[in-house]
Structure 1
Amino acid sequence: MNRIFGTRSTAPKPSLNDAISSIDERVSTIDVKLTKINTELSTYQQKLSKMRDGPGKQAMKQRAMKLLKQRKQLEGQMDQLNSQSWNMTQASMTTENLKNTMITVDAMKSANKELKRTYGKINIDKIEALQDEMLDLIDKSNELQDSLAMNYDVPDDISESELDAELDALGEEMNFETEAGEASGLPSYLSADDQLPSFVDEEDHIKDQEREVAA
C-alpha cells in the first residue's frame, strides 16, 4: 500500500526565510554566470574591432550575439528572483510584525486580568474606614500634645484685663520715680540728707599736721 499511495512526509515545511535563502543562492549563481559572459563579450568586442570583414569576423560576431542572448535571459531570471526575494522578505517582515503584535496583545490581556484580580481584592469601604480611624488618631495625638504643652505657672482664672491694669500701674510707678529723681538733681543715694561717712585715716592725718605746726 505504501508503494501505491506513498507515505506522508515527516520533513518540516520550508519557511519563508528558507525560501529567501534559496533564492539568494540562485541569484548568486546567476551573478557568477553573468560576470563570465561579460568578460567573454568584452574579449569578443576587442577582437572584432581589430578584425577585417569576412567569414571569421562574422562567425565571432554570431558567438557574441549568442552570449548576448544568454545574458538577457540570465538578467531576466535575476530580476524575477530578486522580485520574489523582495516579496518574500516583505511577507516575512509582516509575519514577524504580526507575531510581535500578538505577543503584545497577549501581554496586555494578562496584565488586564492581573489588574482586575488585584483591584477585586480592594475594599473601598475598608479603606475609607481606615482613613477615618487615622484621622481620629491624629486628632487625639494633637489633643495630647496640647495638654502636655500647658503652662502650670500661670493660673487660668487671671483675666487679661487684670494683667493690663497691673502693667499700667507699673508704668505709672516708674514714671513717678523718674520725675522725683529729676526734681532733686541727684540720685537718692547722693542726696544732701545723706552724710558722707568719715574715714579714720583722714582724721589721723589732720592730727599729725597740727602736731608738726605746734612743735
Structure 2
Amino acid sequence: MNRIFGKKKDTGPAPSLSDAGARVDERTRNLDEKIKVLDQELLRHKHALAKAKGQAAVNIKRRAMETLKRKKMYEAQRDQLAGQQFNIEQTNFTIDSIKDTQTTVQAMKGANKQIKSEFKKMNISEIEDTIDDLADYMEDMNEINDIMGRSYNVGDEIDEADLDAELACLDDELAAMDELGIDDDAGGITATAGTARPSYLAPSRPAAAQSQVALPAAPARPLDEYGLPVAPTREPAQQQQIM
C-alpha cells in the first residue's frame, strides 16, 4: 500500500508563532545587512562618478544602477517580511488576549461561588433588626442627654417674656431716677426708696469721687438670683415679742 500511495511524511509538530516570528526577524536582519552594504557601495560609486570622465563614467554609472536595483529588491522583500511580522504579532496578541480572558472568566467563576457561599451566612432580617436596635439606642441616648442637661435652678413658671418685661421696668425706673437727680450712695442705696440697686446696674464713678470719704450708708438688702431685693426676715426674738 505504501509503495503505491507513498508513505505520509512525518512533519513533526507545527511551528509556533514564536518560532515563526523569530525566523522572520532573522530574515529581516539579513536583508538589513545587505541593504547597508549596498548603501556603502552606492556611496563609493557616487564619489568615483564625480571624478571619472568619458567611458569610465559610463561604466561606473551602470554599476551604480545595478547596485540600486538590488537595493530596491531587498527593500521590497524587507517590506513583505515586515507585513508578515505584523500579522504574526497580531495573531500572537489575539491568542494572549484569549488566554487572559479565559483566566479572568475562571477567576470570576471562583469569586461567584465564594460570594454565594459567604452570602448564605448573612441574614437580611438580622441585619435590619440590628440597624433598628442601633437607631433605638441612639434615640434613647439622646433622650438621656436631654435629661442630664436640664437646669433645676430656674422654675418652669418663669418665662423669658416676663424677665424681659421686668428688665424693661427696671430700665424705666433708673431713667426716672436719673431725671430727678437721685443717685446711689457708696453702698448702693437710693435716697428715697431705700432699696439697693443691683451691682451690675450701679453707674461707674470716677477715681476722684471714689477717693473722697463717703458718708456711712445703711446696709444693703441682699438680692436674689434675679437681682431683686429679698424681703427682710424677722429675728427669733422679735417673733417671741410679737407672740
Structure 1 match to 2:8 = 6
1:28 aligns with 2:56: no
TM norm structure 2: 0.49
The SS at the match of 2:234 is helix
Report the Cα distance in structure 1 between the residues aligned to 2:66 and 2:107, rounded to whole angstroms.
Answer: 61
1:51 corresponds in structure 2 to 52
Residue of structure 2 equivalent to 1:106: 106
* Pairwise CA distance, 1:124: 4.4
Residue in 2 that maps onto 1:17: 18
1:73-112 maps to which residues of 2 (within 5 A)? 73-112=73-112
Q: Give the counterpart letter for 2:61 in structure 1.
A: K
Once the two structures are TM-superposed, the CA of residue 80 in structure 1 deviates from its matched residue by: 1.1
Tell whether 2:93 aligns with 1:38: no
Equivalent runs, 1:1-215 vs 2, <5 Å: 4-9=6-11, 11-54=12-55, 56-119=56-119, 121-122=120-121, 124=123, 128=126, 178-180=233-235
SS in 2 for 1:5: coil
Structure with bigger helix share is: 1
Paired position in structure 1 for 2:141:
none
CA shift at 1:107, angstroms?
1.1
CA deviation after TM superposition for structure 1 residue 117, in Å: 4.0
Q: Distance in 2 between matches of 1:40 and 1:106?
A: 59
**Superposed CA RMSD:** 3.6
Could you list the per-position Cα deviations for residues 42-69 of structure 1 after superposition, in whole angstroms to 9, with x for gaps in the alignment?
A: 0011001101122x22222111111100
Secondary structure, in 3 states, of the residue corresponding to 2:86? Answer: helix
Relative contact order, higher structure (CA 8 A, sep 6+)? 1
Change (3 A) 1:103 1:2: farther
Q: Which runs of 5+ in 2 are unaligned?
A: 134-229
AA at the equivalent of 1:79: D
User: Partner letter of residue 6 of structure 1?
Assistant: K
Structure 2: distance between partners of 1:66 and 1:81: 23
Larger radius of gyration: 1
- Number of equivalent positions: 141
TM-score where L is the length of structure 1: 0.54
Change (3 A) 1:47 1:123: closer
In the alignment, residue 14 of structure 1 is paired with which amino acid?
P
Identity of aligned residues (%): 35
Q: Which residue of 1 aligns with 2:167?
A: none
Shift of the alpha carbon at 1:20?
1.4
Structure 2 CA distance for aligned equivalents of residues 118 and 41 of structure 1? 75
Structure 1 unaligned spans of 5+: 136-174, 185-215
> Residue deviations 1:13-36, cap 9 Å, x none?
222222111111111100100110
* CA distance in 2 between partners of 1:123 and 1:43 (Å): 85
